[in-house]
Amino acid sequence: SVPSLAASGDFLQCLSTSIPSQLVFTPSSPSFTSVLVSSIRNPKFFTPTTVRPLCIVTPTNASHVQAVVLCGRRHDVRVRVRSGGHDYEGLSYRSERPETFAVVDLANLRAVRVDRAAATAWVDSGATVGELYYTVAKAAPELAFPAGLCPTIGVGGHFSGGGMGLMMRKYGLSADNVLDATLVDANGRLLDKEAMGTDLFWAIRGGGGGNFGIVLSWKVRLVPVPPTVTFFDIQRSVDPGAVNAVTKWQTLAPALPEDLSIRVIVQTNQALFQSLYLGTCTALVTTMSSLFPELGMTRADCREMTWLQSMVYVNSADTTTPVETLLNRTTSLSTFTKNKSDYVKKAITKDSWEKIFPWFNKTGAGIIILEPHGGRVSGIADADTPFPHRSGILYNIQYVAFWTGNGTDAPNWISGLYDFMEPFVSKNPRGAYVNYRDLDIGENTVVGGVTSYESGKVWGEKYFGGNFERLAITKGKVDAGDYFRNEQSVPPLVSRK
């Protein structure tokens, strides 16, 4: 439903009674565009035809967030919440269809409070993972947190969808390490773990952002890291070696000691093996020469550093880049991207890899990133959290197409390769990772004012497998009216069919 102009006016009027005017930006505010664009990652969603919000609210405390929800409910204006703005489909700040909505941008709510003795922290959703890493390591260098590789990812969306990173084999996903949370629900109530109840607390730890309420803050378990970790980047060309090495990597990487993660980035005719080892070079070289001699890793490949430095190095490939760069929230709008994902349960044969590699020399070719599972991330039962890609998964594939210049259309390369990969990846349903949001796998239809369960099931079972129904039932309990809604939000299932 598109609210009338009068409803929009009433909504803004309602906001003005509870929220200082300098925290509310309408398109007529001089800084509206700069606030809107502040965390947009993908220029695809910043064009003259992009459906933009009626206003952006930048709360500085929980009561402001509650007020936006209460005013929105009263005047029939939906809200979308943005933490780091890294959603691959931009659903935190733009709508695919014409719609009047407000954005709650949590960038001002980004405190990180570390309890060193308890090895826990409270982190607000508007913090970036880079800010979290930096603040934890400065307060307690022996502690860290398992989350993603790009420092500007927002905690709010990232934890909501799981959170994969180079320590997930040892410590699981970010969401697996959440101990408590505070959330504003569809009735404007502020709830903690105890008040929200088992189902809702289960749902927000991996069931995807934008579905169940606005999570303001997360209490997380911090994890021990040694004073020295070792990083390596080893590149292999197809001729010789890459095909054999990738073929072997598929079953080896998920079975390696949990302190060792080796991911693979395939680009042109190269495979880059990128690794973080929670230990010293000497131990790593011994492990690598006995388990993965094909890579020919030697001491010369080792980059020893602190864990915090490794989170910089993975992006900069430079050991002298200051760790303070993790605090930089500026994003660039120069590159258009399109991303898709898959899961692999059965190793792809060498013959098939020989047919896959030529895809990376085609016009419009991007890259794929292979993230090994196994260890802790695979040891948790499928139903313990909404994230179902656990036991039996060898690795995740992320497909990335990127381009610059004009045009918002992704190169055909990415859909062509995705189709080509179908025989090799998980099926019934073909799995996907909710944090690699992809509207191609299905979009909701709204029937009688509420998102239909049938339309949600199409994409929902790909992201959540057998957990989708419980997510929908939970949505039905906490937001039966479907207030928090977008093109790929969990539909409310009120009565079991």
Contacting range for ligand FDA; rule: CB under 6 A; set: 25-33, 133-141, 145-153, 189-197: 145-153
8 A C-beta contact, residue 303 and residue 370: no
Give residues 10-49 in contact with ligand FDA (rule: CB under 6 A). 41
CB of 378 to ligand FDA, least distance (A): 15
- 348 part of the interface to ligand FDA, by CB under 6 A: no
Closest C-alpha among 249, 245, 258, 254 to residue 394 = 254
Sign of CA dihedral 188, 219, 217, 37: negative
How near is the Cβ of 285 to ligand FDA at its closest, in Å?
26
Shortest Å distance, C-beta 163 to ligand FDA? 5
67 in Cβ contact with 19 (< 8 Å) = yes
Non-local (6+) Cβ contacts of 234 within 8 A are: 272, 273, 275, 295, 296, 297, 301
Write out the binding residues for ligand FDA, residues 379-438 only, by CB under 6 A: 435
Using the minimum distance from each CB to ligand FDA, give the nearer residue, 112 or 150.
150
How far, in Å, CA of 364 to CA of 379, rounded?
38
Query: Is residue 95 a contact point for ligand FDA (CB under 6 A)?
Result: no
Q: Does 373 bind ligand FDA (CB under 6 A)?
A: no
Interface positions, 111-130, toward ligand FDA (CB under 6 A): 125
What is the secondary structure of 267-318 as a DSSP string? ETTEEEEEEEESS-HHHHHHHHHHH-GGG---GGG-EEE-HHHHHHHHHH--
Closer CB to ligand FDA, residue 106 or residue 220?
106
Binding test (CB under 6 A) with ligand FDA, winner from 53, 163, 386, 476: 163
CA 333 to chain CA mean position, Å:
19
Question: Cis link prior to 322 (omega < 30° from 0)?
Answer: no
Per-residue contact track with ligand FDA, 54 to 93, x per CB under 6 A?
--------------------------xxxxxxxxx--xx-
**Span interacting with ligand FDA, options 151-159, 187-195, 248-256, 309-317, rule CB under 6 A:** 151-159
The distance of closest approach from Cβ of residue 29 to ligand FDA in the complex, given in angstroms and rounded to an integer, is 21
Dihedral in degrees, nearest 10, Cα atoms 220, 224, 229, 234 = -50
Binding segment (CB under 6 A) for ligand FDA, from list 162-170, 242-250, 274-282, 443-451: 162-170
Pairing of the two strands 55-57 and 101-105: parallel
Check if the beta carbon of residue 249 is closer than 8 Å to that of residue 268. no
Binding segment for ligand FDA (CB under 6 A), chosen from 158-166, 355-363, 400-408, 414-422, is 158-166
List the one residue out of 230, 182, 172 whose CA is nearest residue 204: 182
- Give the one residue of 53, 72, 210, 374 binding ligand FDA; rule: CB under 6 A: 210
Tokens of 363: 């016009």
368 to 55, 294, 418: CA distances (angstroms): 37, 21, 11
Question: Which one of residues 52, 75, 78, 158 is an interface residue with ligand FDA (CB under 6 A)?
Answer: 158
Residue 347: CB atoms within 10 A of its CB come to: 19
- Is 254 near ligand FDA (CB under 6 A)? no
Q: Is 275 in the site for ligand FDA (CB under 6 A)?
A: no
Which residue, 216 or 288, has its beta carbon nearer to ligand FDA? 216
Q: Which stretch binds ligand FDA (CB under 6 A): 138-146, 209-217, 259-267, 461-469?
A: 209-217
Q: Which residues bind ligand FDA (CB under 6 A)?
A: 41, 80-88, 91-92, 106, 125, 148-150, 153-154, 156-158, 160-165, 209-210, 214-215, 435
